[in-house]
Amino acid sequence: MGTFRDYVSSVLPRPFDAELSAGWFGVLHGLTGDLLAQAMSDAVRMPWLLDPKSPDDVLPFVGNERGLPRYPGESVASYRARLVAAWEAHKFAGSAKGIEDQLAAYGYPGKVSFFPGRDGPHGEPAPYWSQFWITFPTGTHPITSEGPPWDSFNWDDGTTWGPVGYTPEFAATLHAIVNKWKPVRWICRGFIFETGTAVWDGFTWDDGTVWAGAIEVDF
């Protein structure tokens, strides 16, 4: 395909095809036209996420349009791939699979778990069909311990109270994923972070091993 510069050069009258005059008209009309054409082409191609011309700084705009924000710490390549698969992801919105897929995309695969025998949050007798928890198996989450117990530190001394590894950023992202992808009738009660992998008789009593341990955080 030709350029505007080629076109201007081909239609210039003879008196204007000398080196200086041809260069002037080439810049004024040809180069300006080529720049505008390139700009329009780039603008059209920017949101085409599989196009090699699509820049990374367009991803937040496409993500906002598709209702898929970028997770903290998520790589550009991972975010682009998730945006490309947005249609597939939204097919499972409002389901356990939708929640689990997004948690896995965040890098912390968890499983939607129901405990029919648990009473409701205000003592409503079981079964309480709409409540669920997210269970994270050992090795799939950053939580390492319960953290300092209440009254073991002085107020405002810099101690962070709560599970070790359960940062505000991590908590906010988990909440956002669950709230966006859960069915509207379901109620998330919390997160269960499994920390114990030891089997019975595989350790010495009172040696500090956590047997089938788990740390639970309310939603």
Query: Average pLDDT for residues 17-40, to the nearest whole number?
Result: 56
How many angstroms separate the CA atoms of 11 and 4, rounded?
11
Q: How many CB atoms lie within 10 A of CB 52?
A: 6
Q: Is the pLDDT of residue 134 over 90?
A: yes
Q: What is the mean pLDDT of the chain?
A: 77
Confidence of residue 121 (pLDDT cuts 50, 70, 90): confident
Kind and range of the H or E run holding 38: helix 32-45
Burial class (CB in 10 A: 0-12, 13-18, 19+), 10: exposed
Which DSSP category does 14 fall into?
Answer: G
More confident residue, 131 or 157: 131
Q: What is the pTM of this model?
A: 0.68
pLDDT at position 218 is 86
Please report where in the chains the tokens 């780039």 appear, as a residue: 42
pLDDT at position 200 is 47
Q: Is the pLDDT of residue 70 over 70?
A: yes
Query: Average pLDDT for residues 189-196, to the nearest whole number?
Result: 87
Domain ranges of the chain: 92-219
Q: Is the pLDDT of residue 41 over 80?
A: no
Please report where in the chains the tokens 């109270």 appear, as a residue: 161
Pair type for strands 187-194 and 131-136: parallel
Residue 60's alpha-carbon distances to 56, 199, 205, in angstroms, are 9, 46, 52
Q: How many CB atoms lie within 10 A of CB 4?
A: 17
Q: Which range (36-40, 142-146, 151-155) has the least confidence?
A: 151-155
Is the preceding omega at residue 127 within 30 degrees of 0, hence cis?
Answer: yes
Q: Is the pLDDT of residue 12 over 60?
A: no
How many angstroms separate the CA atoms of 20 and 18, rounded?
6
More confident residue, 12 or 192: 192
pLDDT at position 143 is 87
pLDDT at position 1 is 45
What the block records as the tokens of 146 is: 């319960």
Helix (H, G, I), strand (E, B) or coil at 185: coil
Query: Average pLDDT for residues 97-126, to the nearest whole number?
Result: 89
Pure H helices in 57-167 = 59-66, 76-84, 86-91, 96-106
